[in-house]
Chains A and B, each alone.
Chain A
Amino acid sequence: MAEFEPVIVAFVCNWCTFTAADLAGTSRLLHPPNVRLIRVMCSGMVDPKYVLKAFLEGADGVLIGGCWPGDCHYINGNLKARRRVALLKEILRRFGFEEDRLWLRWIAASEGNVFAETIKEMVEKIKALGPSQVRQKLVA
C-alpha cells in the first residue's frame, strides 16, 4: 500500500509567511509537496470558518502562518488570530481532532529556511497521526 500522503492547507500572510515561502522557493530549499498554500493579507483575516471547512472537507492538517508578534503589517492581526486559534483548538479537540492537526506559526519574511523546516516537521507529525477522521466518516 502506498504511504499515506497528508493534505495540508496553509493560510499564509502576504507580508511574512508567504514571502518566506517565496524565499524558500527562490533559495531552492526542498520541502515535502503536501501543502496547499492560500495567500491571505493577514493571519488575522483567517476566518475560523476557513479552518473548519478545510477540516470538514478532509484536510489532514491546517497551518496558519503569520508575522512575529510586533511585526504584523496591520499592527496586531496576528494576536487576534492567536486568540481565535486557541478557541478553535479547544472546540476541535473536543470532537477528537488531534492537537497537532492545527498549527499556528510565526514565520518572518526572511525565514525561508524556517518555512521549509516547518512544513517538513508538520508533514512528519501528521504522517504519524494518520489520515484525518473525516476521511473515514461521511460528514455533512
Chain B
Amino acid sequence: MVDYARIEAEEGQVLEAVRDFFVSLLDKGVVEAIMVPTRLPYKGLPMQTLVVDPARIRWADPLAPVVPTNGARFASQLTRDETGKRLALVMRPCEIRPFMELVKLKQARVDNTLLIGLECLGRYENSDFLALDQKDPSFSVNFYRAMKEGRNPPGDGFELAEACKACEHPVPEGVDIRICLIGEDLERGLALEGLTERGKEALGTLGLSEAHKPPEREGAIGALLEQRISFRDKWLEEISRRTSDLGGLMEVLANCINCYNCRVACPVCYCRECVFVTDTFQHDSEQFFRWARKKGSLRMPTDTVFYHLTRMQHMSTLCVGCGQCSSVCPSEIPVSQLFRSIAMRTQALFSYEPGRDLAEPQPLAVFYDNEFQEIASSK
C-alpha cells in the first residue's frame, strides 16, 4: 500500500517515465488493458486507445495538452457490459466526471476499472494543437514548464480552450490513482497519488516507494483555481448578460445550422437516440407552410431554439463544462459558455455537482415528498 510515490524522469524524459509506469501496470498484471491517449505512428492527435500489448505503450502520450474528443464515451463503450476484464482508464477530470455520471445511468461501470486521473492544465483546440506540435517536437514538455513558471505557454497567438480557462476542476477527484503534474518540475519527474485501496495497492504492487508531498503543491493548486474561477465568473456573467432574453439567445444561436455536433460531442447527452432525429421531428411538408403562414416566414433549419432549450432541460444538471460542444461547433457558437451559465443555476437548484460522488443521485432520477412546495401554490 503506497499513498504517494514519485517517478523520476531520466535525462528529462518524463513521458518515458509515465510510459514505464503504464507498462509495469500491464507487466505486473495489475490490469489487462489500458485506455490511454496514444498517437499512432502517423502524425496526428493522441486519441484514446485501448492498449493490451505493453510494446504499444511506447506511443502513449497522455501529457499532450489536447483532448481530441471526450473519453467518457469510450470508457462507457468499454465498460457497459460485464467483461470481467481489469481495465485502467487514463483520463482527465473533464472525462472522469462525465464517466461517473454515465456509471450512475448504468451506461458504464467501475467494478473492474482502475481509474487513473491526470491533473490538467488545460487543452488546446485540436487544430491549434496540431499546429503547435508540428512547430515544436517537445511542445508538451515546454508547455508544462511555461505553465509552472507562470509564463504564457509557447506558441504566440494560440490560446487554451475557453472552457479550460474557466475550469475549476484541474485536479481529478474520486479516482484510484492521480497523476500529479501541478507544481511539478516535469524535467525531474512527477508524482503518483493513491487515493483508494485499489489505487494504493496498485502502486504497492509496482514496487514504488513512499515519498513526501512537496509543500508547494497546495499553493500551486490554489493559485490556479483562483485564476480560473475569476475567469469563469466574468465569462459566465458576460453570456448571461448577452442572453438575458429570447432575442439575445436568438442572436447567439443565429448561426446554428442544426448539425447537432454539440450533442454528439457531449459526454453527458445520455439518450441512446436523440428525439430530435426521430420521426417526431420529421414534420410533414404542409406543417412548415402552416408555421410560415402563422409567423410570416420560417427559418430553415427550424426548431433550433427548441433543440437547445430541450438539451438544457435534459443535460444541464449533468454538464461538467468540458467544452467539447464549443470545440465541434462549425459556426463558432459559444455553446459551452451558454450551457455552463445555465448549468451553474440548475445544478445549484438541486445542490448537485456532476462527478462529485457516485452515491449522489442525479436530479432527474429522484423526487421527494416535501420539496419545491411553493411551485404549486399561489404566492
Q: Determine which residue in B244, B295, B342, B375 has the highest number of CB atoms from chain A within 10 A of its CB, and name it.
A: B375
A84-B309 Cα distance, complex, nearest whole Å: 13
Interface locus among A8-16, A18-26, A27-35, A75-83: A75-83
Return chain B residues, CB-CB under 8 Å to A86: 349, 372, 375
Given contacts A94-B240, A104-B375, A133-B245, 4 further A-B contacts (CB under 8 A): A56-B309, A79-B369, A87-B363, A105-B377
Q: Which residues of B from 297 to 335 have beta carbons under 8 Å from A?
A: 297-299, 302-306, 309-310, 312-313, 316-317
* Cα distance, A84 to B349, chains bound together (Å): 12
B250 with A139: CB separation less than 8 A: yes
A87–B349 contact, CB under 8 A? yes
Total interface residues on B, using CB and 8 Å? 41
For window 27-81 of A, CB contacts with B under 8 Å fall at: 48-49, 52-53, 56, 69, 76, 79-80
Q: From residue 81 to 110 of chain A, which have CB atoms closer than 8 A to chain B?
A: 82-91, 94-97, 104-106
Tell me, rounded to whole Å, the shortest Cβ–Cβ distance linking B148 to chain A: 38
Whether A83 contacts B372 in the complex (CB less than 8 A), given A52-B309, A52-B313, comes out as: yes
- Report yes or no: B250 in contact with A137, Cβ–Cβ below 8 A: yes
Please indicate the chain B residues that have their CB under 8 angstroms from the CB of A88 in the complex. Answer: 313
| Top 3 A-B residue pairs of the complex, sorted by shortest distance between their CB atoms | A96-B245, A140-B299, A79-B367
Chain B neighbourhood of A84, CB < 8 A? 313, 364
Nearest residue, chain B, Cβ from A70: B369
B223 — which chain A residues lie within 8 A by C-beta? none
Least CB distance from B273 to A in Å reads 15
Closest to B295 in A: A138
Q: Does B243 contact A (CB under 8 A)?
A: yes
Closest to B280 in A: A49
0/1 string, B174-214, CB within 8 A of A gives 1: 00000000000000000000000000000000000000000
Bound CA span A106–B375, Å: 10
Q: Which residue of A lies closest to B299 (CB)?
A: A140
Chain B nearest CB from A43 CB (Å) reads 10
In the bound complex, do residue B372 and residue A82 qualify as a contact, i.e. CB atoms below 8 Å apart? yes
For chain B, residues 334 to 379, give those with C-beta under 8 angstroms from any C-beta of chain A: 341-342, 345-346, 349, 363-364, 367-369, 371-372, 375-378
The contact of A137 among B246, B342, B367, B369, by CB within 8 Å, is: B246
A52-B306, A52-B310, A140-B302 are contacts. A82–B244 as well, Cβ < 8 Å? no
B249 contacts the other chain (CB 8 A): yes
Give every chain B residue within 8 A of A52 (Cβ-Cβ): 306, 309-310, 313
Interface residues in A101-124 (C-beta closer than 8 Å to B): 104-106, 121
Closest to B346 in A: A90
Q: Using Cβ atoms and an 8 Å threshold, which residues of chain A touch B310?
A: 48-49, 52
Enumerate chain B interface residues (CB-CB to A < 8 A): 240, 243-250, 275, 295, 297-299, 302-306, 309-310, 312-313, 316-317, 341-342, 345-346, 349, 363-364, 367-369, 371-372, 375-378
Question: Can you list 9 A-B contacts (CB < 8 A)?
Answer: A52-B313, A79-B368, A82-B372, A83-B367, A87-B313, A96-B248, A133-B246, A138-B250, A138-B297
User: Are A80 and B367 in contact, with the CB atoms below 8 A?
Assistant: yes
Check B372–A140 contact: CB distance below 8 A: no
**With A90-B349, A133-B246 in contact, do A48 and B313 touch (Cβ < 8 Å)?**
yes
Kindly list chain B residues whose C-beta atoms are within 8 Å of the C-beta of A95. 243-246, 248-249, 309
Q: How far is B345's CA from A52's CA once the two chains are assembled, in angstroms? A: 18
Residue of A56, A86, A96 with most chain B CB atoms under a 10 A cut-off: A86
Contacts of B341 in A (CB 8 A): 94
Q: Specify the chain B residue showing the minimal Cβ separation from A105.
A: B376
In the complex with contacts A80-B367, A95-B249, A140-B313 CB distance below 8 A: no
Residue with the greatest number of chain A CB neighbours at <10 A, chosen from B247, B349, B367, B372: B367
Q: Which residues of A lie under 8 Å from residue B305 when comparing CB positions?
A: 56, 139-140
- Which residues from chain A contact B371 at a C-beta distance below 8 Å? 82-83
Q: Is the Cβ of A139 less than 8 Å from the Cβ of B246?
A: yes
Q: What CA separation (Å) do A53 and B275 show in the bound complex?
A: 14
CA of A106 to CA of B244 in the docked complex: distance in angstroms?
31
**Closest chain A CB from B344 CB (angstroms):** 10
Query: What's the least CB distance linking B170 to chain A, in Å?
Result: 27
Task: Say yes or no: A140 contacts B304, CB within 8 Å.
Answer: yes
Q: How far is the CB of B60 from chain A (nearest CB, A)?
A: 41
The closest CB in chain A to the CB of B249 belongs to A95
Give the chain B neighbours of A104 by CB distance below 8 A: 375-376
Alpha-carbon distance A136/B174, docked complex (angstroms) = 49
State the CA gap A107–B341 with chains docked (Å): 35
| Set of chain A residues within 8 Å of B250, measured between Cβ atoms | 137-140
A97–B245 Cα distance when bound, in Å, is: 7
When C-beta atoms are compared, the residue in chain B nearest to A117 turns out to be B378
